[in-house]
Amino acid sequence: MTVKIAVLKETRPGELRVAMVPSVIDRLMRLGAQVAIQSGAGDAVKLPDAAFKNATCVVDAAQLVRDADIVLAVQPPAAETVRAMKTGALLISFIYANKEPALVDLLRQKKITCFAMERVPRISRAQTMDALSSQATLAGYYAALLGATHLARIFPRMTTAVGSLRPATVLVMGLGVAGLQALATARRLGAIVEGYDVRPETKGEAASLGARFVDTGVNATGEGGYARELTPEEKSKVAKVLTAHIQQADVIITTASVPGRPAPKLIGKAQVDGMKAGAVIVDLAADGGGNCEYTKPGETIQIGQVTIVAPLNVPSLLGEHASELYAKNLLNLLELLIHDGKIAPDWNDEVLAKTALTGAGSAKRVGVAKPAA
Ligand code: NAD
Write the residue with the smallest CA distance to atom 37 of ligand 1.
122
DSSP assignment of 75-108:
SPPPHHHHHHSPTT-EEEE---GGG-HHHHHHHH
What does the pLDDT read at residue 134?
98
Q: Which residues pair with 71 in a beta bridge?
A: 6, 91
Q: Under a CB-based contact definition with an 8 Å cutoff, are residues 248 and 276 in contact?
A: yes
Q: Is 130 marked active-site?
A: yes
Contacts of 124 (CB under 8 A, 6+ apart): none
Let me know the angle formed at the C-alpha of 165 by 164 and 169, rounded to the nearest 5 degrees. Answer: 140
CB atoms within 10 A of CB 252: 30
Indicate if 261 belongs to the active site.
no
Q: Rounded to whole angstroms, how far apart are CA atoms 268 and 196?
A: 16
Tell me the pLDDT tens digit for each residue of 1-10: 799 999 999 9
Per residue in 287-320, pLDDT (tens digit) is 999 999 999 999 999 999 999 999 999 999 999 9
Cβ density class 86-120: b for 16+ within 10 Å, e for less: beebbbbbbbbbeebeebbebbbebebbbbbbebb
- State the DSSP code for 288: G
Quick check: helix, strand or coil at residue 294?
coil
CB of 226 closer than 6 angstroms to any ligand 1 atom:
yes
Q: What is the pLDDT of residue 361?
A: 66
DSSP conformation class of 124: G
Which residues have CB under 8 Å from 43's CB, separation 6+? none
Helix or strand or coil: residue 35?
strand
Of the candidates 120, 124, 189, the one whose C-alpha atom is nearest the C-alpha of residue 155 is 189
Beta strands in 117-223 (DSSP E): 158-160, 163-165, 169-173, 192-196, 212-213
Distance CA 280, CA 103 (A): 39
Global pTM value: 0.94
Active-site residue identified among 34, 39, 133, 135: 133
Helices 22-30 and 319-337 pack at an angle, to 10 degrees, of 10
Q: Is 255 in the pocket of ligand 1 (CB under 6 A)?
A: yes
Question: How far is the C-alpha of 25 from the C-alpha of 34, rounded, in Å?
Answer: 9
Which residues pair with residue 148 across a beta bridge?
A: none
Query: How far does the centroid of ligand 1 lie from the alpha carbon of residue 196, in Å?
Result: 12
What is the average per-residue pLDDT within 355-361? Answer: 87
185, pLDDT greater than 80:
yes
**Range 45-56 average pLDDT:** 96
**Residue 69 burial (10 A CB sphere; 0-12, 13-18, 19+):** buried
- Residue 222: the pLDDT is 78
Q: pLDDT grade, residue 363 (50/70/90)? A: low
The share of the chain scoring above pLDDT 90, in percent, equals 86
pLDDT (0 to 100) of residue 239: 86
Question: Residue 249's Cα: distance from chain center in Å?
Answer: 26
Determine if ligand 1 sits within 6 Å of the CB of residue 222. no
Round to whole Å and give the CA distance between 113 and 223.
27
Dist. CA 175 → ligand 1 center (Å): 6
Residue 237: CB within 6 Å of ligand 1? no
- How far apart, in Å, are the Cα atoms of 348 and each of 129, 336, 351, 352, 367? 17, 12, 9, 8, 11
Task: Identify the CA nearest to 189 among candidates 210, 203, 163, 162.
Answer: 210
- Place 282 in a pLDDT band, splitting at 50, 70 and 90: very high
What's the rounded Cα separation, in Å, for the pair 238 and 249? Answer: 17
68 with 89: CB under 8 angstroms? Answer: yes
For the CA of 136, the closest atom of ligand 1 is: 25
